[in-house]
Amino acid sequence: MPIDAHTRFVSLLGYPLGHSLSPEIHNTAFQAQNINMVYLCMEVHPDNLKRALDGFKAAKFVGSNVTIPHKQAVYGLVDELSDQAKAVGAVNTVVCRYGKDGEVESLYGDNTDIRGFLDPLAPYAPGLRGEEMVIWGAGGAARAVAYAMLTEYQPVSLTIVARNVEKAGLLAEYLSEYDQQDALKVMPFADATRQVRNSRLLVNATPLGMHSQADATPWQVSEEFSAGQVVYDLIYNPQNTRLLKEAATRGAETLGGLEMLIRQAAASYQQWTNQEMPLDVVREAVKRRLASQ
Ligand code: NAP
């Protein structure tokens, strides 16, 4: 589809903007479905964020993704918020809502990381409800993941394993209203052996194991993993991290972060286009891109 006077814009807002797979994901899908939209990376300084959002209205954008460091700031700048965005206090997707006059009436902020995280877990869902669970890490992704685990699976215990226990405590406090069963606990790595051994779902929300430090893992003692566990690494490059390889060797089910990345994109895409993202075409394009890096 050629870019012409009718082409409509979707952006990725971040600062600074490093390498991102999002343009590949969305532009592949637009082309596959013959949709006259283009996805662009926009590096916007935090001081200019409000002006950029006003620009979406003026230039009649379709919407935007939001990445580091703007997710919290955009939360405070949009006109309406989804329940998920409210729950985690962060926006990763903006949808421009149009009035009858064809002008953008309001900006709607959503957080699709929650659906992105949960969709790949759906085949395991029946075995996860009410079980013990662990998250390594207490940053932005951990917040969305912990909310998703609490509300979808009602775990009997959900232990946030972190090097900064105070920060993890603030995360637990933030999510306390969704913690009906008093499941949330906070623990340093050195104390979490029993929790790791007994958990049914374990999620890596740290950067330990990503391409720049591929020998790293959030959990050194692979003997603690076993069949019956699901080990989910949010890292998508490499696709098969040291954590996943070691967990698989011990018989655990494993999930990498690439599918989460694609599913959160699909949840945004659906809101911008009213179409389901062609997942197979996108998966192929993204894997090709990763292989060529
Ligand atoms: P973040 O906000 O920076 O949080 C990272 C967390 O990991 C923090 O709790 C940090 O601890 C901890 N951490 C970092 N280095 C550590 C180390 N050496 N030992 C122990 N803990 C360490 O990052 P994020 O946005 O949550 O992202 C976390 C990971 O998830 C990244 O690898 C990211 O690529 C991945 N992710 C994937 C998707 C996807 O769609 N697949 C989406 C979001 C994120 P401190 O607080 O003490 O620094």
Ligand 1 neighbourhood includes 14 CB (under 6 angstroms) = no
pLDDT tens column, 233-266: 999 999 999 999 999 999 999 999 999 999 999 9
- The whole model's pTM is what? 0.96
In tens, the pLDDT along 32-83 reads 999 999 999 999 999 999 999 999 999 999 999 999 999 999 999 999 999 9
Query: If DSSP codes are grouped into helix, strand and coil, which group holds residue 146?
Result: helix
Q: Give CA–CA dist 243/207, Å, rounded.
A: 12
Q: Which atom of ligand 1 is least distant from the CA of 68?
A: 25
Q: Is 183 in the pocket of ligand 1 (CB under 6 A)?
A: no
Question: How many Cα atoms occupy the beta-carbon half-sphere of 138 within 13 Å?
Answer: 24
Give residue-wise pLDDT tens across range 112-122.
999 999 999 99
DSSP 56-121: HHHTT--EEEE-TTSHHHHHTTSSEE-HHHHHHT--SEEEEEE-TTSSEEEEEEE-THHHHHHGGG
Task: State how far the Cα of 34 lies from the Cα of 8, in Å rounded to an integer.
Answer: 13
| Ligand 1 pocket mutation, candidates 163, 202, 242, criterion most atoms within 8 A of CB | 163
